[in-house]
Structure 1
Amino acid sequence: MKLLLNTILSRFIAAGSLDVTFTDGSTAHYRGHRPGPHAAMRFRSTDAERRLLLNPGLGFGEAYMDGTVQPQECSLYDLLRLLMLNAMEPAGHLGEALAAATRHVRRGWIQFNPEARARKNVAHHYDLDSRLYDLFLDRDRQYSCAYFPKGNETLDEAQEAKKHHIASKLRLDRPGLSVLDIGCGWGGMALTLARDYGATVTGITLSEEQLRISRQRAESAGLSGQVRFELLDYRNVLTRYDRIVSVGMFEHVGIGHYETFFAKLRDCLKDDGVALLHSIGRNDAPGTTNPWIDKYIFPGGYSPSLSETFAAIEKTGLWVTDCEILRLHYAKTIAIWRERFAVQREKAKALYDERFCRMFEFYLAGAELSFEVQGHMNFQLQLTRDINAIPLVRDYMFEAERKISAS
């Protein structure tokens, strides 16, 4: 087994260098033909070696959670950065390539999200102890990509800027507009649109924990008459709205449901309505979700390519009236989350256990690096039913952001 693993790693490391200490105590040094970072790791069991050999996309993360793979004289982030950089090389890893090909064949089933399964998938991650999210999120609990217009904003400032950046694209040009927030999280976006723009907002979620906290927040803010939250699947919305916003939810829709999702947006928008979709995406061709992420973090989740997304929109008759790509904003966001989680790690361990902390560390480091070195990004799509629903040029967006900044 060690001999085969040694052969694969020799071919895998094309950039930078990796030192590996095997379970039997022997050490190997792998040097790529191009410059790159250096990292080192140690195997603590032959089972971990076997996992990395057979299914690295799943097995490496599980071995780290179990403590049978350990970074040596470097951080987990450093080790993952080296491995994820080299995973983008043409040579790649034969075992992972075969596993990815199998996942691609099965991805329709993996991302099959009927209502019952969608609710179960959401509960897996979003119904965790709410105190966990207080350890690393901003004060408004924005669990999605922040927006750094200057690049040096604090997390709270960047998340506030994100909400107003999105609001500017919704063209909330008068009070009293009805807004549907699909996948409303803990209610921060809905409350902001109501408080700062005078909108009447309905937020829907499949998370009972998020629903409970959102309703509490609306009541505490004195906005219960203007904002309501419901436990509701988007497919069951029957009302038409002036505006629709969805932030960080499209990743959970599932590729087989894209046309259903955009058809529902079309049907729920008034004739002159505007919708804004904010989602993680990928800058390359359609792919698959990492199996470790699918199993432990976001079951049924997937970061779509723009080609998949636009193909589904085209079949609904909706206009894509604006598209913006946010490249490294999420990497900056997650870097702050990762730092905050590290500071509060003992509190997270008290809520769960050591294995959970290792899982969450692996998730945050891997997610950050997926934006830094593996082509993930965020996109914001503005959608309308009517070609004339918004002004001819984009100046109204900038004016709206300047106005809220000055207030």
Structure 2
Amino acid sequence: MRPMLDRLLKRLIVLGELDVIWPDGTASHYAGEPGPSATIAIHDESVIRHLAYAPGMAIGEAYMEGTLTPVNCTIYDVLHVLLASVELAERRIPVLRAQAMFNRIARPLAQMNNARNARRNVAHHYDLNGRLYSLFLDRDRQYSCAYFPRGDETIDEAQAAKKRHIAAKLLLDRPDLTVLDIGCGWGGMALTLARDYGAKVTGITLSVEQLTESRARAQAEGLSDRVNFELIDYRAVDRQFDRIVSVGMFEHVGLPNYQAYFETVHRCLKPDGVALVHAIGRFDGPAATSPWLAKYIFPGGYSPALSEVFGPLERSRLRSTDIEILRLHYAKTLNHWRRRFAANRDTIASLYDERFCRMFEFYLAGSELAFAVQDHMVFQLQLARRQDAVPLTRDYMVDTERVLARQTA
């Protein structure tokens, strides 16, 4: 198997340098154009076979198990070399091309997120020990892309800016507007809209852990009369709202359910209402979720190309009143999370174990690089049922956001 993996790496590394120390202690050097560099040690012969046949799954599993380790570098450095090269070389390497094709074919089954599967998939990631997320997220536990108007914000400042950015697009121009928050997380967005903008918010989630925390936060802040949190699937909501917001949830919907998702937004939005969907997407067209990410982090998850979003959106009869692409903002967000995770690694290991820490390190590093050197981005879609639901130009967004920024400075 070593000759097979050797040939793969010779073709793969087209940018940067990778040194491999094999189980017998010998070493190989692979280099392309000038770029990042890293060294790995493979400690078990079985890892070589897995890497040769299924590299997308094998490298993450080997790192988790400690049978593949970075040498004088981090897993971020290793993935930087590999992912930067994959972006350039994937289409001309048979095993990578075949794996990508198989993953594309298997997408509908993997993303069959009916109500039962959706709840199980959410529990897999979001019902982890709540203290874990407090150790690497911002104070408000915003687990989605932050917004960096200057570029040098702290994570708390950037997440506050993200909420202002979204609030401006929701056109919260009068008190007591009713808002549905689809996928409300730990309640930060819902509580902010109620506390700072006078909205009456219903937040929905499928995570028991998030529901408990959100309700506790609402009670502690004296907002229980303005914010209600429910454990319910988005498809089961049967009321109409003035505004709908969905941040970081669309990635869990799954391709087969996009039509139902947008039809739900249409059904639950009042005729003059405004909705805002904030989600991860990809620039380079339809693809598939990393098999490692789908198995260990986000089962049923997928970040779509916009071409996959607009067909179901158009059929739902919703109007796209504004579209914005956030480039590199999530790379900056994930860099903050990765560094905070590292600073609190010993505490996190005491909650779980070393294998869990390595799994999360691999996830955070790979995700950051997906935005920094690959094709991932974030899109925000402002939607309405009527074309005249929002002003004719975007000036109101910018003006409102600047006023809000001054008020909170």
Q: TM-score, normalised by structure 2?
A: 0.98
Q: Distance in 2 between matches of 1:91 and 1:60?
A: 16
CA distance in structure 2 between the aligned counterparts of 1:146 and 1:280, rounded to whole angstroms: 12
**Are residues 1:226 and 2:226 paired?**
yes
Q: Secondary structure at the match of 1:288?
A: coil
Q: Residues 190 and 203 of structure 1 are in contact (CA less than 8 Å); yes or no, is this contact kept in structure 2?
A: yes
The residue aligned with 1:384 is: 384
| Residues 247, 277 of structure 2: 8 Å contact kept | yes
Asked if 1:46 is matched to 2:45, the reply is: yes
Question: Does structure 1 residue 253 correspond to structure 2 residue 253?
Answer: yes
| 1:366 corresponding residue in structure 2 | 366
User: In the alignment, which residue of structure 2 is the partner of 1:28?
Assistant: 28
SS at match of 2:230: strand
2-structure distance, mates of 1:7, 1:234: 48
Amino acid paired to 1:150: R
Q: Which amino acid aligns with 2:258?
A: Y
Identity, in percent, stands at 58
> For the residues of structure 1 that align with 2:300 and 2:247, how far apart are their CA atoms?
17
- The alignment yields a C-alpha RMSD, in angstroms, of 0.8
Kindly indicate whether the alpha-carbon contact (under 8 Å) linking 1:23 and 1:45 is maintained by their aligned counterparts in 2: yes
Deviation of 1:95 (Å): 2.1
- Give the 3-state SS of the residue equivalent to 2:152 in structure 1: coil
Which residue number in structure 1 is paired with residue 110 of structure 2? 110
- Separation in structure 2 between the aligned mates of residue 266 and residue 146 of structure 1, nearest angstrom: 27
Structure 1: segments with no counterpart, 5+ residues: none
Q: Which residue of 2 aligns with 1:333?
A: 333
Aligned to 1:66: 65
* Amino acid aligned to 1:189: M
Mapped partners of 2:143, 2:4: distance in 1:
41
Cα deviation, 1:195-254, whole Å, max 9, x if unaligned, reads 111000000000000000000000000000000000000000000000000000000000
Are 1:3 and 2:41 an aligned pair?
A: no
Aligned partner of residue 272 in structure 1, secondary structure: strand
**Partner-residue secondary structure (3-state), 1:166:** helix
C-alpha distance in structure 2 between counterparts of 1:38 and 1:399, whole Å: 45
Partner Cα distance (2:120, 2:178) in 1: 29
Answer yes or no: is the 8 Å Cα contact 1:181–1:204 preserved in 2: yes
Tell me the amino acid that sits aligned with residue 178 of structure 1: T
Cα deviation for residue 8 of structure 1 reads 1.3
Give the gaps of 5 or more residues in structure 2: none
Q: Deviations over 1:33-65 (max 9, x none)?
A: x22222111100011111111101111100000
Q: For 1:89, what is the secondary structure of its paired residue?
A: helix
- Structure-2 separation of matches of 1:122 and 1:179: 22
User: Distance between the aligned counterparts of 1:288 and 1:205, measured in 2?
Assistant: 25
Name the amino acid aligned to 1:144.
Answer: S
Contact 2:12-2:89 within 8 A present in 1 as well: no
Q: Which residue of 1 is the match for residue 56 of structure 2?
A: 57
Whole-Å Cα distance in 2 between the matches of residues 238 and 324 of structure 1? 29
Instruction: Kindly report which structure 2 residues correspond to 1:69-108, keeping only aligned pairs within 5 A, or say none.
Output: 69-91=68-90, 93-108=93-108
Match of 1:216 in 2: 216
| Equivalent pair of 1:276/1:382 in contact (CA under 8 Å) | yes
- Equivalent residues in 2 for 1:125-144 (5 A)? 125-144=125-144
Post-superposition offset of 1:91? 4.8
| Worse-matched range after superposition: 96-105 or 255-264 | 96-105
In structure 2, distance between residues paired with 1:8 and 1:332 = 31
Aligned AA (2:183): G
Structure 2 counterpart of 1:356: 356
Query: How many angstroms apart in 2 are the aligned matches of 1:197 and 1:231?
Result: 24
Count of equivalent residues: 406
Deviations 1:343-387 (A, max 9, x none): 100001000000000000000000000000111000000000001
Is 2:245–2:277's contact at 8 Å kept on the other side of the alignment? yes
Q: Map Cα deviations across residues 129-154 of structure 1 (whole Å, 9 max, x no partner).
A: 00100110100000000001111111
State the distance in 2 between where 1:59 and 1:221 align: 46
1:345 correspondence with 2:345: yes
CA–CA distance in 2 between the matches of 1:60 and 1:25? Answer: 19
* Equivalent residues of 2:11, 2:89 under 8 A apart: no
Query: Amino acid of the residue matched to residue 186 of structure 1?
Result: W
Give the match's secondary structure for 1:112: coil
Task: Give the Å deviation of 1:97.
Answer: 2.0
Distance 2:405 2:64 in 1: 44
Match in the other structure for 2:174: 174
Matching residue of 1:195: 195
Give the TM-score normalised by structure 1.
0.99
Match of 2:18 in 1: 18
For residues 256-312 of structure 1, the C-alpha deviation after alignment (integer angstroms, 9 at most, x for no partner) is 000110011001100000000000000011110000000000000000101111111
Structure 2: how far apart are the matches of 1:392 and 1:88?
A: 39
Partner of 1:240: 240
CA contact (8 A) 2:90 2:96 kept: no
Cα deviation for residue 94 of structure 1 reads: 2.6
Closer, same or farther: CA 71–245 of 1 in aligned 2, 3 Å: same
Match of 2:161 in 1: 161
Shift of 1:90: 3.3
SS of 1:88's partner is helix
1:239 partner SS: coil
Distance in structure 2 (CA, Å) of the matches to 1:57 and 1:237: 38
Deviates more, 1:396-405 or 1:274-283: 396-405
The amino acid across from 2:89 in the alignment is P
